[in-house]
């Protein structure tokens, strides 16, 4: 099949393509044969796919092809401790894509090298789940700019050495995407892009074992659509229709859509909701082997056509299911995966003032294949989902539900807590689903009455960021957290958002905090400066690279996490409101203030030390 691709390439590109095809075409063919080999016209289909990849390869701009070569020669380029991510909604951060371009110097000031802009492609009119209901993969959302603006932005970001990451929402499309519109009009090929059932027989059978992502606002996984003649699979909101990946046309269309965006200069794809790509009766239709084969096939395509591009898995699943998304040495899958368990466990540790579940998560975090890493984060645009922690919360004979439900209550401000968040998709105080709120509000800044409380809240915010920055991952900051921005309640007045409390953590960038970021007298300035200090210290230590070894030190008290990175770096983090002591072996230098520490050290409530090994006396 390689010849079908080579045939459409200009002579100058053939040798390079032939080299990559020799390695990855057999992989791709094997994966696709596993998924679609039963189809009578499989060979013809694969030939067409290869020809389409060839056309997209030819269309790839020379500058991006040069970047591909550079990165293929250094495949671990994104594991450096100099990498730092930032995530924002376009509309909130810059107003539109041009406004984002105006903030590049701010990103550079922070040391950001990776910018995840939340969905900016044309979204469904009306409710659209913050852009996660895509109507066209080929057009920028008009409210945010034009395709030319996107091209200009990727060019400017590339010049600033910032990789643009875009969501690639591959599990579903909006019900006003051209495929959905054609399907509603009775087009058989378009209907086959979706999973439609004439009556409740199959939906009921599936529902018996499916979970629910939005049990309150979008219960069930199927939506009755008259024009489709039945029930359409819709895991998320009723207007987000799941694609039918058992249909090879879906795979081919989506692979091409991804490469067209890559050719616009998007360097990282956040593959949204990857866990749900394949459905199987009798299971929760998550993490199915075929979902992994689809991702591996996409990876092989990227390895052939655009090896400078990174794939990032968004799979909010239990820790044990996560490593599979990063593949193995012989089955390459995504380059990056969200470590949602680590994120949630950090918040659980704060609420419990103990690190047992967090340690369990770290113990359950395996070594990764080469050139793959976790994404670490404190907050994102979604809720803190507690369900991913069920196994770790049950360790040691605990009642996981009680424990996680308590954490969920804690972050609403119950349980005598300092937090000012909201429960997500659950009104039952004895159940755990998710928690929402900006980090600063969840750590108590919003409710702090005096300097002492503010100081403790600030330490908690720094502590969670310290964990994300020292864990060994690609850390991604969430817009506003660097300035300790608090909850935004305004969503309650917007009818299309009021039912979804995730909007609590989707504020508009606060320019006045930003202007005051140099004044340590404000929370914004204090947070910003301490974060910048951490980012700078991190850059200086090779031990903090994503792939450098990590060891959990078991001799720390339960309130504290002691994480060694290699032989020369140690992070001590006190998750409790009580002072905690730790006996250091040897002499250590505090990376922030240069103080020398040895013997027993006591960490104040919620304090953190980043230590580098000092020379022996
Ligand atoms: C992902 C997104 C989330 C969205 C969902 C459906 O989980 O992060 O915001 O609601 O996918 O696209």
CA of 379 to the centre of ligand 1 (A): 14
Q: Ligand 1 pocket, 236 CB below 6 A? A: yes
pLDDT in tens, 278-311: 999 999 999 999 999 999 999 999 999 999 999 9
The pLDDT assigned to 429 comes to 83
Would you call 272 a catalytic residue per the annotation?
A: yes
Residue with CA nearest ligand 1 atom 7: 273
Q: Residue 431 — very low, low, confident or very high, per pLDDT cuts 50/70/90?
A: confident
User: Rounded to an integer, what distance in angstroms lies between the CA atom of residue 176 and that of residue 188?
Assistant: 17
Domain ranges of the chain: 335-548, 550-613
pLDDT in tens, 1-46: 789 999 999 999 999 999 999 999 999 999 999 999 999 999 999 9
* 231-to-60, 127, 223, 278, 348 alpha-carbon distances in Å: 40, 20, 5, 17, 39
CA of 132 to the centre of ligand 1 (A): 6
CA of 130 to the centre of ligand 1 (A): 9
Pairing of strands 422-424, 434-436: antiparallel
Residue with CA nearest ligand 1 atom 8: 382
Identify the CATH number of the domain defined by range 550-613: 2.60.40.1180
Q: Ligand 1 pocket, 168 CB below 6 A? A: no
pLDDT in tens, 192-204: 999 999 999 999 9
Q: How confident is the prediction for the chain on average, in pLDDT?
A: 97
Q: Ligand 1 pocket, 383 CB below 6 A? A: no
* Interval 247-267 mean pLDDT: 98
CA of 133 to the centre of ligand 1 (A): 9
Tokens representing residue 506 in the block: 């989707």
In the sheet that 580-590 helps form, which strands lie side by side, from edge to edge?
A: 550-552, 560-565, 569-574, 608-613, 580-590, 596-603
CA of 169 to the centre of ligand 1 (A): 8
Residue with CA nearest ligand 1 atom 9: 382
Q: Ligand 1 pocket, 274 CB below 6 A? A: no
Tokens representing residue 599 in the block: 């013997």
Q: Which of 128, 270, 273 gets mutated to test ligand 1 (max ligand atoms within 8 A of its CB)?
A: 273
* Interval 145-172 mean pLDDT: 98
User: Rounded to an integer, what distance in angstroms lies between the CA atom of residue 45 and that of residue 171?
Assistant: 21
Annotate 62-98 with DSSP letters as a single string: HHHHHHHHHHHHSTTGGGSTT--EEEE-HHHHTSSHH
Atom of ligand 1 nearest to the CA of 172: 12
Atom of ligand 1 nearest to the CA of 381: 9
Least confident interval from 167-181, 423-437, 474-488: 423-437
Pairing of strands 550-552, 163-168: unpaired
Q: Ligand 1 pocket, 167 CB below 6 A? A: no
Report the C-alpha dihedral over residues 528, 532, 534, 536, rounded to 10 degrees.
Answer: 180
pLDDT in tens, 444-465: 999 999 999 999 999 999 999 9
DSSP state of 243: B
User: Rounded to an integer, what distance in angstroms lies between the CA atom of residue 349 and that of residue 86?
Assistant: 24
**Rounded (5°) CA angle 495-498-504:** 135
Atom of ligand 1 nearest to the CA of 132: 12
Please report where in the chains the tokens 């459409």 appear, as a residue: 8
3-state class (DSSP) for residue 125 = coil
pLDDT over 90, % of the chain = 96
Q: Which one of 167, 267, 303, 314 is the catalytic residue?
A: 314
CA of 273 to the centre of ligand 1 (A): 7
Q: Which one of 242, 272, 392, 488 is the catalytic residue?
A: 272
Q: Is the pLDDT of residue 188 over 90?
A: yes
**Rounded (5°) CA angle 608-614-617:** 135
Q: Which of 121, 177, 272, 505 gets mutated to test ligand 1 (max ligand atoms within 8 A of its CB)?
A: 272
Which CATH code, of 3.40.50.720, 3.40.1670.10, 3.20.20.80, 3.90.1150.10, is assigned to 335-548? 3.20.20.80
What sign does the CA torsion over 589, 590, 595, 600 have? negative
CA of 398 to the centre of ligand 1 (A): 30
Q: Which of 212, 382, 436 gets mutated to test ligand 1 (max ligand atoms within 8 A of its CB)?
A: 382
Burial 445-456 (b: 16+ CB within 10 A, else e): bbebeeeeebeb
pLDDT in tens, 331-380: 999 999 999 999 999 999 999 999 999 999 999 999 999 999 999 999 99
Q: Ligand 1 pocket, 276 CB below 6 A? A: no
Tokens representing residue 370 in the block: 């080469």
């Amino acid at each position: 099949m390689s010849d079908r691709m080579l045939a459409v390439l200009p002579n100058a590109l053939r040798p390079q393509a032939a080299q990559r095809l020799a390695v990855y075409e057999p992989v791709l063919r094997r994966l696709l044969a596993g998924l679609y080999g039963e189809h009578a016209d499989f060979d013809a289909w694969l030939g067409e796919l290869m020809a389409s990849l060839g056309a997209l390869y030819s269309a790839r701009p020379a500058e991006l092809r040069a970047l591909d070569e550079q990165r293929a020669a250094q495949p671990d380029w994104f594991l450096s401790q100099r990498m730092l991510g930032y995530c924002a909604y376009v509309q909130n951060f810059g107003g539109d894509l041009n406004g984002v371009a105006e903030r590049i110097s701010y990103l550079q000031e922070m040391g950001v090298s990776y910018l995840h802009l939340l969905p900016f492609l044309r979204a469904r009119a009306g409710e659209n789940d913050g852009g996660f209901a895509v109507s066209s993969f080929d057009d920028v959302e008009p409210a945010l700019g034009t395709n030319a603006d996107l091209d200009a932005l990727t060019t400017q970001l590339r010049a600033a050495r910032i990789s643009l990451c875009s969501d690639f929402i591959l599990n579903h499309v909006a019900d006003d995407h051209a495929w959905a519109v054609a399907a509603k009009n009775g087009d058989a090929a378009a209907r086959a892009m979706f999973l439609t059932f004439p009556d409740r027989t199959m939906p009921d059978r599936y529902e018996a074992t499916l979970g629910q992502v939005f049990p309150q606002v979008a219960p069930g996984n199927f939506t009755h659509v008259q024009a489709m003649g039945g029930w359409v699979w819709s895991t998320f909101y009723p207007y987000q229709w799941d694609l039918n990946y058992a249909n090879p046309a879906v795979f081919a269309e989506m692979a091409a859509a991804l490469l067209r965006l890559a050719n616009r200069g998007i360097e990282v794809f956040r593959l949204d909701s990857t866990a749900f790509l394949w459905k199987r009766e009798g299971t929760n239709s998550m993490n199915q082997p075929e979902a992994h084969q689809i991702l591996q096939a996409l990876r092989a395509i990227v390895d052939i056509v655009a090896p400078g591009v990174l794939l990032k898995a968004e799979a909010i699943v239990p820790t044990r299911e996560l490593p599979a998304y990063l593949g193995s040495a012989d089955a390459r899958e995504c380059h990056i995966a969200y470590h949602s368990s680590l994120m949630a466990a950090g918040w659980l540790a704060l609420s419990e003032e103990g690190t047992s579940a967090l340690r369990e998560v770290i113990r359950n975090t395996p070594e990764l294949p080469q050139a793959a890493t976790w994404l670490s984060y404190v907050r994102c645009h979604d809720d803190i989902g507690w369900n991913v922690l069920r196994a770790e919360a049950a360790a040691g004979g605990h009642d996981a539900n009680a424990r996680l439900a308590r954490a969920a209550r804690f972050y609403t401000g119950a349980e005598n807590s300092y937090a000012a968040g909201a429960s997500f998709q659950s009104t039952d105080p004895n159940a755990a689903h998710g928690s929402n709120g900006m980090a600063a509000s969840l750590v108590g800044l919003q409710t702090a009455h005096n300097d002492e409380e503010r100081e403790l809240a600030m330490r908690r915010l720094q502590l969670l960021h310290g964990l994300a920055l020292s864990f060994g991952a690609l850390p991604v900051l969430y817009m506003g957290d660097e300035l300790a921005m608090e909850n935004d309640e305004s969503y309650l007045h917007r009818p299309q958002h009021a039912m979804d409390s995730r909007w609590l953590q989707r504020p508009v960038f606060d320019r006045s905090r930003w202007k005051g970021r140099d004044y340590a007298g404000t929370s914004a300035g204090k947070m910003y400066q301490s974060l910048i200090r951490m980012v700078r210290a991190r850059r200086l230590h090779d031990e903090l690279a994503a792939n450098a070894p990590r060891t959990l030190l078991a001799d720390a008290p339960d309130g504290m996490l002691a994480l060694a990175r290699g032989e020369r770096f140690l992070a001590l983090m006190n998750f409790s409101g009580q002072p905690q002591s730790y006996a250091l072996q040897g002499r250590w230098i505090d990376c922030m203030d240069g103080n020398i520490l040895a013997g027993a050290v006591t960490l104040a409530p919620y304090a953190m030390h980043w230590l580098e090994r000092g020379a022996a006396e």
